[in-house]
Amino acid sequence: MSVLAVTGGVGGAKLAVGLAHLLTPDHLVFLVNTGDDFRHLGLHVSPDLDTLTYSLAGYACPDKGWGRIDETWSFLKTLQDFGGPTWFQLGDKDLALHVYRTQILSNGGSLTEATKDISEALGVKHSVLPCSDDPIATIVDSDVGQLSFQHYFVKHQCRPYVKGIQYEGANRARLNENLDMATISLVVICPSNPYLSVDPILAIPNFRNFLRNPDVPVLAVSPIVQGRALRGPTTKIMTELGSTVDNNTIAHHYEDILTGLIIDEGDAKDCDNVRDLGIECIARNTVMRTIEDRVRLARETLDFGNALSN
């Protein structure tokens, strides 16, 4: 039996790395958001798949939370000299990944196949699966109009006011067919942005149905710590969407699928409210600064899952 870790990019990848330290590739599968995927400079870019793959391979740039370590920037500097678009920063090594993936897709390969090739080449042993091989596009309805996710997130640096979020294509998308749901005994929703990184995955109809299976506990690690998200636009988006930035909102958000929620120990007082929704709740240190933090929180998450399964 396997654990299925559902994750987006930076925040989720931290817990994902912890889980990968504890579980062998036979017992852990990653299901990754593709709603941020976009074409840029003719290339298929998959930011969350890449952040996770680089993180698992030990190639993630620790300072930035995206891109590769030991990156070089000749391409981008030269593109700038030509007046080309440089708002999305592509390092020379990262570019090779995008070009390689785009070639596989152009030759009729699937995103799953491309991701498998790439992660194997980077030495990743665990299965990293795009949530779907069908296109899903996270679209932000904002005060400056509809923006594709990367335009909102990177080009506009999350400045526009968010009025709503759509996951184009998700309702027609099929869950990655390489994922054998029958083998999954626990689902862990990693602490990625619920609206931007997790919901596009949950919007896939047959995945959401599966998560309602009472035999498989679904846990989430809350991305909220003491009233705010540790990084990214989660806090801002929750506020703009009219939600209180707290664990209660997170619990409500995942209410119909969640068995248990892990919140930060500083928010332990929230556990009672979460339990009132029929969701088990434990409080732990959810701030993952070091690899030890990631492995510890992963272990606590798995222990919680075991307790709920019994």
Binding site for a copy of itself (CB under 8 A): 41-43, 71-72, 74-79, 81-84, 91-93, 95-97, 99-100, 102-103, 106, 117-118, 121-122
Tell me the C-alpha distance between 237 and 144, whole Å: 15
Least distance in Å: CB of 105 to a copy of itself?
10
∠60-223-244 over CA atoms, to 5°? 145
Nearest distance in Å: CB 222, a copy of itself: 36
Shortest Cβ distance from residue 92 to a copy of itself (Å)? 4
User: 148 forms bridges with which residues in the sheet?
Assistant: 139
3-state SS of 18-54 is HHHHHCCHHHEEEEECCCCCEEECCEEECHHHHHHHH
The continuous run of DSSP H or E covering 186 comes out as strand 184-189
- Which CB, 74 or 244, lies closer to a copy of itself? 74
Which CB atom, from 75 or from 149, has the smaller least distance to a copy of itself?
75
Length of the chain, in residues: 310
* Residue 155 Cβ vs a copy of itself, minimum distance, rounded to whole Å: 16
Q: Cα 210 from chain centroid?
A: 19
Nearer Cβ to a copy of itself, position 121 or 144? 121
Between 155 and 163, CB nearer to a copy of itself: 155
CB of 258 to a copy of itself, least distance (A): 38
Quote the CA–CA distance of 56 and 298 in Å, as a whole number.
14
Nearer to a copy of itself, 79 or 154 (CB): 79
